Amino acid sequence: MDTQTLPDNILTTQLKKVVNWARRSSLWPMPFATACCGIELMATASSRYDLARFGAEAMRFSPRQSDLLIVAGRVTIKMMPVLQHIYQQMTEPKWVISMGACASTGGVFDAYATIQGIDQFMPVDVYVPGCPPRPETLIEGIMAIQRIIDEDGLPPAGKRRPLQLAVEPSYSPNAQPAGIPVTVGGQPI
C-alpha cells in the first residue's frame, strides 16, 4: 500500500506505539511518602512545577488504580510488609521510583530499624537522588519512566531488573569558601 495516496486524515502506526503512548501519557502514581521527601513530592503537583504536563497528576491512593509507585522517604522494617503488599496489589504493568537518599540507601539513618534501600525487597526502575530531591529531579525521574515505557513497553513477566536507571543531578555545586581558617577551640588547624 502506498502511503502517499492515503487521505490526509488517516494516520498509520503500530499498535504497540499507540498503547505505549497512551500508557506513558497517563501514569497514575501511588505515593508512599514519609518525612521530607513527601513534601517535595507534593510540590511537584503544585502550579509551579505542574506535573500535569506529563500526564501524572492523578495521584491515586488505591494500589489497584495505580501503575507507578513513588516511594519517597525512609522506610522502616515495620513499614516494609505494608509497602510490599501495596506493590503486590498494583496491576501490571507497574513501575517503581525510589525517591531520595533514604528510600534508595537508608540515607543518614544507618539503624537496625531502617531499610537500607528498598531495592532489597522490590524491583526499582528509577532512582531519584537527593536529600530531599527537588521537584524538578522527581519530574526528570518520571520522564525517565516514560522513556522506559516508550522503549520497552510491557516489562517482561518475572524478569524485571531491579537496577535500571539513576537520575543524575543537573547542577554542579559551588566551591566551598577558601581562605577562611578553620579553628578548633580558638586554635587554627
Look at residue 18 and tell me if it is in a domain. no
CB 69 within 8 A of CB 97: yes
Look at residue 161 and tell me if it is in a domain. yes
Query: What would the grid cell of residue 79 be?
Result: 513499614
Write down the mean pLDDT value for the chain. Answer: 80
- Residue pLDDT, tens place only, 106-128: 888 888 888 888 888 889 999 99
Highest mean predicted confidence (pLDDT) among 1-15, 90-104, 158-172:
90-104
| Grid-cell match 495521584, residue found | 59
Q: For residue 186, give every residue at least 6 positions away whose Cβ sits within 8 Å of its Cβ, in sequence order, or none.
A: none
Look at residue 21 and tell me if it is in a domain. no
Q: Please report how many Cα atoms fall inside a 13 Å half-sphere around the Cα of residue 92, on the Cβ side.
A: 8
Question: Above 50 in pLDDT, residue 164?
Answer: no
Q: Is 113 left (phi over 0), alpha (psi -120 to 50) or beta?
A: alpha
Over residues 15-24, the mean pLDDT reads: 82
- Residue pLDDT, tens place only, 45-63: 888 888 888 877 888 888 8
Look at residue 176 and tell me if it is in a domain. no
Which CATH number do you get for residue 159?
A: 3.40.50.12280
d(CA 158, CA 173): 40
Give the range of the structural domain holding residue 88, as residue numbers without chain letter. Answer: 30-169
d(CA 123, CA 176): 37
Name the pTM for this structure. Answer: 0.74
Q: How many domains are contained in the chain?
A: 1
Tell me the pLDDT band of 163, cut-offs 50, 70 and 90: very low
Look at residue 1 and tell me if it is in a domain. no
Tell me the pLDDT band of 20, cut-offs 50, 70 and 90: confident
